[in-house]
Chains A and B, each alone.
Chain A
Amino acid sequence: MLLEGLRITILFLIIPMLLGCGMAKIIHVYEKPSFSGILFRYVVGQIMMWAVFELIGVPLIYMKRSFRSAVVIWCICILIIVVLEIVYIVWRRKKESCETGQEPMDAGILVLALIAFGLIGLQCYQYVFRMHLDKDDSRYIVNAVEAYENDQMLVNNPATGDAYTYEQSSSVAKDTASPWMIYTALMAELVGIHPTILAHTILPVILLGMSYMIFWLIGEALFGAGIFEKLFFVIFIAWINMFFCNTTHTQSTVTLVRIWQGKAVVAAVAIPMLLYTLLLLYHARGEASNGRIYILLTVVSLGSCLLSGMGIFFAGIMTGVYGLWYVIVSRRWKELVGVCVACIPTLIYGMIYAGLL
């Protein structure tokens, strides 16, 4: 149990933070340490981990390589990126003086923070201590369990366990383009916990946490430094999520009920993150760092592609619509190149999804 706890800490906390620190430095966002900066780094780090897996996982699945080989290659890639980023941070730090941004704290803030934690905690409690049965897991979770137990990726029809036949190849193409459940298996492998347990208990807490972290950042993008507004914003997000559940189809329902599934991660994490990144882009218009945010936008798009077909297309649509609008507003037409680059993952993985590649 202790070992698993240590592994979870390293994989879900330390590595994303290290990855996110480097990205923050590279794109000049939240370079100074602050509460929001920590959240930003964590979220970006997680999404970088997804993006790396999307880059290496899809070709490996195509080549019918073993699951363990994907695990090893992903670990090596992440290690290399972490080392490079540490080198970059150390190099940058020598050039800069480091200031810390201290945010004010009073009793009102504490109360609101407690309310926010209480609401989010209630949602986490449901995931950790209670159980939601979802028939779609007969595809998603089973794909993860197959990789974990049989060391193969998307070879068999998850519903039966029989090898895929030719007529089922379109189904395989969709899963290949967005192998989120293989990534879940990878996490399970590295943590040493069965994918079903990981997906139903640990991942929801992490993903739900990420979702609210992103909303905090969106709050910051909308309200600036106003901490009261940001806290109210997150409280209302959490509150509305619990009530915008008239059907099983709303983004709130999938966020609170089955967040471990790729399409739900799109609704809970990817779409808010895309919105946040595009807001960052809007804020940085006319600044020198603007071009660098397109790096983040491309990484977020790539990470979205890992999640599901919706992630592939929604990333392209949101980038296209918001990106184009911001280009028009700022009248910086050369930034259209950045918007197009950020849409490349949608183009490539969309073609894979449709079975055209």
Chain B
Amino acid sequence: MLDILREEYEFFVSYSGNSLIMVLYVLSLIYIGCAGKEMRRKLLYPSLLLMFVILNPFFYTYIWKKLLDNVFWRMMWMFPVVPCIAYAAAGILGRIRRWWLRALVCVGMMAVVAVSGQFIYADNTVFVEATNYYKLPQEVVDIADRICQLDDSPRVAAPRTLYCYLRQYNQNISLMYGRNAEGYISAISDIDQRVAKEIESDTPDYDYVFMNAAYEGCNFVITYAGKVVPEEVLSTYGYVPYISMYNYVIYANTGLPDGGSEGFRVTQYGSSGKNLMMYTVEDKQGNLIVIDGGSKQRSRELLMLLDQYDRHVAAWIITNYDEKHVGAFNTILSEDNGVVIDKIYAAPINRDRYLETEDSEDNKNSVETACKILDSCPDVSWLKEGDRIDILGMSMEVLSAWDEDTDAMEDRLLEAGSLCFVLEGDTERMLFCSNITTDVERKLRDKYRDKISVTYLQAARQGKNGLVSNIQKYTEPEAVFLDAVEESFQDKDADAKDLALRDYYAMSGCRIYYYSSRPNTVILK
């Protein structure tokens, strides 16, 4: 009860700002109470009844809070604060017969009001000088005009100082995220959220910004002047500086196809602590592939992500049955939440053999749950080494999966039996190693040496297999994904082996992605 009253009081403060005008309101109610039976019946009692209905803890808990949530203070607009005070003031003045005394009292009461409240026009930021008929910032009007000279229906990634106003001026301008970046009308993807954040950042990751802006069809990117965009980034994604205006630099990509640059966007998600594996791949038609999905704790985040695809997954690839890989899959598929999966590609597993060798009850449960779900799903393909399938126009080739050799192992069967595969776009390839052991890496090195040379690599076991298998010499990626937070590699006590692979790729100029900057994306061309 006290908590509810405290909440209501907080709303009251956020509404009135503890203005003394509320004291005048109470005084005016007392005046009305003394103004005769008629006035009490007409104004006082219903006002008090209304206050009772609005502030009643029962109604607050069961109706108003559910209806209005964090804008409960708007209910207080129904308190007739202003008319009641004005009534009391006018009523008092009406009783005074001498004009000079009336004027004096009137001025005095006005002064009381002025002292009790805050003058709206005293704040010079509330109203500013208008420079155009639209009453929009002049830079918005000028920038929109310049952009529309080049393209009459541009798509723009803009900083927060512009995105609220551009579309008020010209509806033909579409925005990558707009004010949704502030959680306004609807949730946006984590990728768009990060783009918005990078543009505002003191040290923006412009590679990320321009890569995703191009992929999402933004032929204009507006950045703050003074934060220089590297030439290399501009040339990679086809942008050129168009114009510098006010405090902004506008970059244009006139050759960008409608709908954005081609390719498949691979995204690494993750968590701030626990290691897990959660990737998505999307195509230009809005189809989505989920790879693993991460642990149970990520299921809500994943479901929100799936919302953006109307809860439709074109393909779900399961590489490993550890909770960190299939926890979210198990949770989502166990619920009736409208998620539709066209096809599931699963790593094979010898359950009996696995259960014989596994001690962890959690892992056993995770495997049992996943297998039970998969048994009940109609469209499951169990992949094995050498399988090659077409998936959303990409080629997927399995390089390693659970087999007889795995059965023969004594421990770490789940890791060794992980699904390791290459996704191949038109010109680029990405190797997903899941959780494979160094023994499996050796097999890849020896058997698939020509196939493991890729553009992008998801390193096995957070990149902590070390350099033992020597696989790194054959992969030669431009970018490598380590499924861990960066801090885990900065720990002074970290094992030298854990750091070796990371250091190797860093030395070779390879871009390294950690969870710290998630979601991380690359475009697989």
Binding site for B on A (CB under 8 A): 108, 122, 126, 129-133, 135, 137-139, 141-142, 145-146, 148-150, 157-162, 164-168, 171, 194, 196-197, 200-201, 215, 218-219, 222-223, 226, 228-230, 232-234, 236-237, 239-247, 249-253, 256-257, 263, 266-267, 271-272, 275, 278-279, 282, 310, 313-314, 317-318, 321-322, 325-326, 329
- Tell me the complex Cα distance, A173–B25, Å: 37
Residue from the list B21, B99, B135 in contact with A240, Cβ < 8 A = B21
Tell yes or no: B4 within 8 A of A by CB. Answer: no
- Tell me the complex Cα distance, A308–B41, Å: 30
Q: A126-B127, A167-B307 are in contact. Are A197 and B133 (CB under 8 A)?
A: yes
Q: A126-B121, A139-B185, A236-B90 are in contact. Are A197 and B308 (CB under 8 A)?
A: no
Residue from the list A171, A218, A321, A326 in contact with B186, Cβ < 8 A = A171
- Tell me the complex Cα distance, A313–B182, Å: 27
A sample of 21 cross-chain residue pairs with beta-carbon separation below 8 angstroms, ordered by A number, consists of A122-B121, A131-B131, A135-B164, A160-B178, A161-B178, A165-B307, A165-B308, A197-B135, A226-B94, A228-B94, A229-B90, A229-B94, A236-B86, A239-B110, A239-B113, A242-B119, A252-B120, A271-B78, A317-B54, A318-B78, A325-B46
B-side contacts of A223, CB under 8 Å? 90-91, 94
- Tell me the complex Cα distance, A196–B120, Å: 23
B-side contacts of A241, CB under 8 Å? 82, 120
Tell yes or no: B130 within 8 A of A by CB. Answer: yes
Query: How many residues on B have C-beta within 8 angstroms of the other chain's C-beta atoms?
Result: 82
Flag if B94 contacts A282 (CB, 8 Å): no
Residue from the list B39, B75, B135 in contact with A200, Cβ < 8 A = B135
Flag if B128 contacts A232 (CB, 8 Å): no
Flag if A237 contacts B135 (CB, 8 Å): no
Q: A249-B73, A310-B74 are in contact. Are A229 and B93 (CB under 8 A)?
A: yes
- Tell me the complex Cα distance, A236–B113, Å: 9
Residue from the list A158, A246, A251 in contact with B185, Cβ < 8 A = A158
Mask, B78-113, CB within 8 Å of A = 1, is: 101111011101110110000100000010011001
Flag if B167 contacts A201 (CB, 8 Å): no
- Tell me the complex Cα distance, A148–B85, Å: 41
Flag if B164 contacts A138 (CB, 8 Å): yes
- Tell me the complex Cα distance, A246–B16, Å: 6
Flag if B178 contacts A318 (CB, 8 Å): no
A-side contacts of B62, CB under 8 Å? none
Flag if A249 contacts B164 (CB, 8 Å): no
**B window 129-143: CB within 8 A of A:** 129-131, 133-137
Flag if A159 contacts B310 (CB, 8 Å): no
Mask, B42-83, CB within 8 Å of A = 1, is: 110110011001100000000000010000011101101111
Q: A196-B169, A215-B83, A321-B50 are in contact. Are A249 and B93 (CB under 8 A)?
A: no
Residue from the list A149, A165, A257, A266 in contact with B120, Cβ < 8 A = A257
Chain A residue with minimal CB distance to B51? A321
Flag if B89 contacts A132 (CB, 8 Å): no
Tell yes or no: B469 within 8 A of A by CB. Answer: no
Considering residues B14, B83, B94, which has the most beta carbons from chain A within 10 angstroms of its beta carbon? B83
Chain A residue with minimal CB distance to B54? A317
Give the 8 A-B residue pairs with the shortest CB-CB distance, closest first. Answer: A246-B17, A243-B117, A159-B178, A161-B174, A236-B86, A200-B135, A131-B130, A232-B90
B-side contacts of A252, CB under 8 Å? 82, 120
A39 CB, nearest partner CB in chain B, Å: 16
Flag if B117 contacts A246 (CB, 8 Å): yes
Chain A residue with minimal CB distance to B106? A232
Considering residues A108, A133, A318, which has the most beta carbons from chain B within 10 angstroms of its beta carbon? A133
Residue from the list A142, A167, A245 in contact with B308, Cβ < 8 A = A167
Q: A218-B83, A229-B90 are in contact. Are A314 and B120 (CB under 8 A)?
A: no
- Inter-chain contact total with CB atoms closer than 8 Å: 258
Residue from the list B16, B180, B307 in contact with A160, Cβ < 8 A = B180
Tell yes or no: B179 within 8 A of A by CB. Answer: yes
- Tell me the complex Cα distance, A129–B118, Å: 22
Chain A residue with minimal CB distance to B87? A222
Binding site for A on B (CB under 8 A): 14-19, 21, 39, 41-43, 45-46, 49-50, 53-54, 67, 73-75, 77-78, 80-83, 85-87, 89-91, 93-94, 99, 106, 109-110, 113-114, 116-121, 126-131, 133-137, 163-165, 167-169, 171-180, 182, 184-187, 307-308, 310
- Tell me the complex Cα distance, A222–B31, Å: 14
A-side contacts of B163, CB under 8 Å? 138, 159
Flag if B179 contacts A131 (CB, 8 Å): no
Interface SS of chain B: helix, strand, loop or mixed? helix
B-side contacts of A137, CB under 8 Å? 164-165, 168
Residue from the list A133, A266, A272, A325 in contact with B49, Cβ < 8 A = A325
Flag if B137 contacts A133 (CB, 8 Å): yes
Chain A residue with minimal CB distance to B163? A138
- Tell me the complex Cα distance, A251–B84, Å: 14
- Tell me the complex Cα distance, A165–B126, Å: 35
- Tell me the complex Cα distance, A317–B86, Å: 23
A-side contacts of B182, CB under 8 Å? 135
Flag if A233 contacts B168 (CB, 8 Å): no
A266 CB, nearest partner CB in chain B, Å: 7
- Tell me the complex Cα distance, A129–B121, Å: 14
- Tell me the complex Cα distance, A226–B102, Å: 15
B-side contacts of A162, CB under 8 Å? 174
Flag if B171 contacts A149 (CB, 8 Å): yes
A-side contacts of B21, CB under 8 Å? 240, 243-244, 246
- Tell me the complex Cα distance, A167–B81, Å: 39
Q: A129-B130, A321-B53, A322-B50 are in contact. Are A145 and B41 (CB under 8 A)?
A: no
Flag if A139 contacts B184 (CB, 8 Å): yes
Residue from the list A142, A218, A247, A256 in contact with B167, Cβ < 8 A = A142
- Tell me the complex Cα distance, A269–B18, Å: 24
Flag if B90 contacts A160 (CB, 8 Å): no
Flag if A161 contacts B83 (CB, 8 Å): no
Flag if B78 contacts A145 (CB, 8 Å): no
Flag if B15 contacts A159 (CB, 8 Å): no
Flag if A165 contacts B310 (CB, 8 Å): yes
Flag if B128 contacts A158 (CB, 8 Å): no
B-side contacts of A126, CB under 8 Å? 121, 127
A-side contacts of B128, CB under 8 Å? 130-133
Flag if B185 contacts A275 (CB, 8 Å): no
- Tell me the complex Cα distance, A266–B168, Å: 22
Residue from the list B80, B133, B164, B180 in contact with A275, Cβ < 8 A = B80
- Tell me the complex Cα distance, A241–B18, Å: 16
- Tell me the complex Cα distance, A158–B133, Å: 21
- Tell me the complex Cα distance, A239–B107, Å: 11
A111 CB, nearest partner CB in chain B, Å: 9
- Tell me the complex Cα distance, A113–B171, Å: 43
Contacts beyond the supplied A138-B178, A236-B110, A314-B77: 12 A-B pairs with Cβ under 8 Å: A139-B184, A142-B167, A145-B168, A171-B185, A197-B135, A201-B133, A222-B39, A222-B87, A232-B90, A271-B78, A282-B42, A325-B45
Flag if A160 contacts B87 (CB, 8 Å): no
A-side contacts of B118, CB under 8 Å? 243, 245-246
- Tell me the complex Cα distance, A321–B56, Å: 13
- Tell me the complex Cα distance, A222–B121, Å: 30
Flag if B120 contacts A168 (CB, 8 Å): no
Flag if B18 contacts A246 (CB, 8 Å): yes
A-side contacts of B46, CB under 8 Å? 278, 321-322, 325-326
Flag if A196 contacts B130 (CB, 8 Å): no
A-side contacts of B133, CB under 8 Å? 194, 197, 201
- Tell me the complex Cα distance, A156–B56, Å: 39
Flag if A159 contacts B180 (CB, 8 Å): yes
Chain A residue with minimal CB distance to B39? A222
- Tell me the complex Cα distance, A126–B124, Å: 12
B-side contacts of A164, CB under 8 Å? 186
A-side contacts of B179, CB under 8 Å? 135, 138-139, 159
B87 CB, nearest partner CB in chain A, Å: 6
Flag if B14 contacts A249 (CB, 8 Å): yes
Flag if B113 contacts A246 (CB, 8 Å): no
